[in-house]
Structure 1
Amino acid sequence: MKKIAIVMGGYTEESVISLKSGKVVYENLNRKEFLPYKIYIYRDQWILKDEKNHEYPINKHDFTVCLKQDQILKFDCVFNVIHGTPGEDGILQSYFHLLKIPYTGCNFHQSNITFNKKYCLTFLKEFGIDTAVSFFLNKNQPFCEKNIIKKVGLPCFVKPNRAGSSLGISKVYKKEDLLPSIEKAFKEDHEIIIESFLKGIEVSVGVISFNHQIKVLPITEIISRNDFFDFESKYGGGSQEITPARLLPNIERKIQKLAKKVCNILNLSGISRSEYILVKDTPFFLEINTIPGLSEESIFPKQLNIAGISLSDLFKQSIDYSIECSKKL
């Protein structure tokens, strides 16, 4: 049986979601084909926990574990479910690439581009993808609030450039609220993005891509009970998620076509979930997650369920594809 390291945790507040996603992967891997291990990655420690909650340190030099004297555990593949850094931004992907250990999801190049909102939006705009008007700001960089508002207007959104799960995001209605929102975002990242508000229908689109075969999952319409789709809305029941979304067939096809186009432009593999705002029948790209949540509260598993795709089958496909791709390197 193939030994699978399910890496979870991470360095951000998203770690609590990652642990839930990791539990889902662990429970749904077919034990006739795979032998899964739970690996917890935090800033201060990398450890394996067994069924009896015994902890074993990870050897970071080669990503092995000494379970007993002279018994070294090596993994056939890594199943990455870390949301945020270091699992979604290319850091771990680069590490496993250097060690020649297969890992699920897209490679380090794509991970780095997609996790950085500035890079991703700038790149996609070159291919004609509609996005909100935006303003980028580095920490300690002088700025003029009047010029920012002149460009993006009010209301607007202030976001950390490299963060997920809507952490550090604010919706700004008044000029006097802009600076506190910028300071809040800078607590999450030293780069931020300020975007114009797009009034329309928010949708989330799950995509599965293996060997350039792209399948778009049923689209989810998001109705947040809060001011926007924030962390509490995503994981605390503060939103209504309707799958399939209530869209006219021609609009649904337009969004599906756009999701495929984005996936092809970014050359993604594995699974992803992208967000759009539908403004007068035109979808505007917001962002993309290359390691979407897999917990019971998450959107992606619900889309899979409606599409008739089991988690077990998807996870097997992800692992098999990753191992096959590693042989070509």
Structure 2
Amino acid sequence: MSAARSDDRTRVAVIGGGSSCEHDVSLASAASVAAALSPTSYDVVRLTIDPHGTWLDPGGRPVGLTGAACLLRSCDVALPIVHGPRGEDGTLAALCELAGLPYVGSGVRAGALAMDKWATKLVARAVGVATAPGVLLTPATAAVHRWSHPVVVKPVAAGSSHGVSLVERAEDLLDAFDRALAIDDRVLAEDVVVGREVDVAVLGRPDGSRVVAPMLEIVVDGLFDHHDKYDGTADFRIPAPLEEAEQKALHDAAVAVYDALGCAGVARVDFFLTDDGPVLNEVNTMPGFTEQSQVPKMFAAAGLAYSDLLDLLVRDVLGTGA
């Protein structure tokens, strides 16, 4: 299965798709990444995981896990651009580690912790970063949970706002639980946090330094849901208009959470900026990665172009970065 090496370019596997509800978003990210890697420096091998979990080769033919592993072993490095469960949650990082293949992004532990929103909250609180008050519920406990005030209901392990509902009336609570439980077998019911939505992109470098891009504020009326994220109407303001003290508080909180989770490469740490300071919303260890996605736009605002960001991420993993 291994392809012959015909030149000295870096052979990079770009993995997209996946069997989660974020399949289509991941396909878009992977296609954008593959197109942006310079053909003079990189020999790109596109691998796709279809919605049923079947691995497809660059020609779209099913090759199974064994065939995919052979293709991966023919590469120098992997870019696992698979959002959500069975991808971003450490699953693909584990596969790459077992295959002995260097990869861009967070490892098994950080991916698993960050994908689990409840575990992320526990880690954040342990290092002094505030999170929204909330409860963890299962199908059994959700069925008897009583509504007492507005809450945001969300699956514990999902992304792109799939299954997320703002519940402002008691009669809507069970329907919200049903939508979230259709995606995950655990859900969160969190208090509504009033504050500005600010995203922070953190890049870990091999020397241990942390680079924080200009922050991004999402200006939205109500819940920033799946439709708002992908219909092209979201109002992203970069850099976010922040006071120096606000910026420092967000910077310090984002780096503290990044380090406590053990992240690597780029992670997006999302906050609500309240009158009492930052409140963590969630952490994405493989955020959306088209050129128009939040993280690339934040680094572009710092003067680091999309293709240069990808090149930096790969070179850092291979130990050839500046």
- Both proteins in one fold, TM over 0.5: yes
Partner SS, residue 207 of structure 1: strand
Alpha-carbon distance, 1:145 to partner: 2.6
Which residue number corresponds to residue 10 of structure 1?
Answer: 18
- Structure 2 unmatched runs, 5+: 1-8
Which residue number corresponds to residue 5 of structure 2?
Answer: none
1:127-154 Cα offsets, whole Å, 9 max, x none, are 21101101001223465333xx45xxx2
Give 2:97's aligned amino acid.
H
1:240-293 Cα offsets, whole Å, 9 max, x none, are 111111111221121112111111212211001111011105110010000011
- Whether 2:218 is the aligned partner of 1:218: answer no
Q: Distance in 1 between matches of 2:130 and 2:44?
A: 41
Relative distance call for 1:73 and 1:279 in structure 2 (3 A) is closer
1:58 to 58, 63, 66: 63
Q: Distance in 1 between matches of 2:142 and 2:79?
A: 42
1:199-245 Cα offsets, whole Å, 9 max, x none, are 111111111112221111111111124x3111111111342111111
- Whether 2:153 is the aligned partner of 1:158: answer yes
Which residue number corresponds to residue 180 of structure 2?
Answer: 185
Q: Distance in 2 between matches of 1:188 and 1:6?
A: 26
Relative distance call for 1:238 and 1:228 in structure 2 (3 A) is farther
Relative distance call for 1:142 and 1:189 in structure 2 (3 A) is closer
- Whether 2:280 is the aligned partner of 1:285: answer yes
1:51-87 Cα offsets, whole Å, 9 max, x none, are xxx3344352373457xxxxx9711111111111221
Partner SS, residue 205 of structure 1: strand
Alpha-carbon distance, 1:323 to partner: 3.2
Q: What are the residue-to-residue correspondences of 1:23-34 with 2, within 5 Å? A: 23-34=31-42
2:166 to 171, 178, 183: 171
Which residue number corresponds to residue 3 of structure 2?
Answer: none
> Does the Cα contact within 8 Å between 1:59 and 1:65 map onto a contact in 2?
no
- Whether 2:262 is the aligned partner of 1:267: answer yes
Alpha-carbon distance, 1:106 to partner: 0.7
> Does the Cα contact within 8 Å between 1:224 and 1:238 map onto a contact in 2?
no
Q: Tell me how large the CA RMSD over aligned residues is.
A: 2.0
> Does the Cα contact within 8 Å between 1:217 and 1:303 map onto a contact in 2?
yes
Please identify which structure carries the higher strand content: 1
Give 2:85's aligned amino acid.
T
Alpha-carbon distance, 1:20 to partner: 1.4
User: What's the TM-score once normalised by structure 1's chain length?
Assistant: 0.89
Q: Distance in 1 between matches of 2:142 and 2:78?
A: 43
Alpha-carbon distance, 1:110 to partner: 0.7
Which residue number corresponds to residue 78 of structure 1?
Answer: 78
> Does the Cα contact within 8 Å between 2:156 and 2:187 map onto a contact in 1?
yes
Sequence identity of aligned pairs in percent?
Answer: 28
Relative distance call for 1:264 and 1:28 in structure 2 (3 A) is same
User: What's the TM-score once normalised by structure 2's chain length?
Assistant: 0.90
Q: Distance in 2 between matches of 1:141 and 1:155?
A: 18
Partner SS, residue 254 of structure 2: helix
